[in-house]
Amino acid sequence: MKTIQFREAICEAMSEEMRSDESIYLIGEEVAEYNGAYKASKGMLDEFGEKRVIDAPIAELGFGGIAVGSTMTGNRPIVEYMTFNFALVGIDQIINNAAKIRQMSGGQFKCPIVFRGPTASAGQLGATHSQAFENWFANTPGLKVVVPSNPYDAKGLLKAAIRDDDPVIFMESEQMYGDKGEVPEGEYIIPLGVADIKRKGTDVTVVSFGKIIKEAYKAAEVLEKEGISIEIIDLRTVRPMDTKAIIESVKKTNRLVILEEAWPFGSVATEIAYRVQEQAFDHLDAPIQRINTADTPAAYSPTLLEEWLPNAQDVIDAVKAALYVK
């Protein structure tokens, strides 16, 4: 094992796959000459050249469309967005083309493409740069949605996403690129659609994904000192969702808390809650607790932003609410 940063795990995954398959290329703003806005493509231009690591103009609809179209001639592009907030400019290409090519062509064309970049809040970036879109894309049949929370998962999941013959939305975080973690020296793949139990527990199941799961880890340490054992499940892939892993955990703990960095209405947490009450209602000893951001645009003020985001205390309160319900 070696210890590397999240950004390095992303770079290794892309580089390893590009070495083994010449049909793979990377396109996006500042991915080449600048080594990526977050240095996730550092050194790739030097190794693969300007035909496979391509600096695009500030035109997400344009370079997204070029990439989607190129899948129909045998290519496997990786599209980097400086932030998924900018993907809204090119979302027509993702929703109306990438997600539907296979079905609308009667299976004659597949669309092996990865759209990747940061999601959700990253500090004082304002309301239009602090949005989470996992539930938006997961609502679209034909798309797979991946949200890793650490370098190990990021590399293994990205390699799987690049090899997938369907379009994958791969969502990262600006605040995780510097995170360090152990990654195997050799080849490994993490299959899409498989959740991971990050911490085993017996009293309450906590389901989360992405960088906000760190708040669950903090809460678990505090609760353990009080004799409360929580099981933490990292979804890793939002769609397809590993419902089986969630249900099995809930049948053991009989309680569920869902932690998500997104607005509550129509959220991933809402979908999880529905599936659990549908498939494991008789195993629940308390109402499902859901933790989301405040139902407002993100604030710029650091004080208001702190109140807007879920935190470890929110998790502690939700766990205790699930345990002590009357």
Write the DSSP symbol of residue 298.
P
What residues are annotated to the active site? 60, 129
In this structure, what DSSP letter does residue 172 have?
A: E
For the chain, give percent helix, strand, coil, nearest 5: 40, 20, 40
Question: Residue 182: beta bridge partners?
Answer: 3
**Token representation of residue 313:** 């205390």
End-to-end CA distance of the chain: 48
Measure the CA–CA gap between 18 and 237, rounded to whole angstroms. 23
Alpha helices in the chain (DSSP H): 6-20, 44-48, 60-71, 91-92, 101-104, 134-138, 151-163, 213-225, 243-253, 268-280, 302-308, 312-323
Count of CB atoms situated within 10 Å of the CB of 37 = 19
Nearest to 110 by CA among 98, 94, 122: 98
Q: Which two tokens stand for residue 251?
A: 């049948």
- What is the identity of the amino acid at 185? E
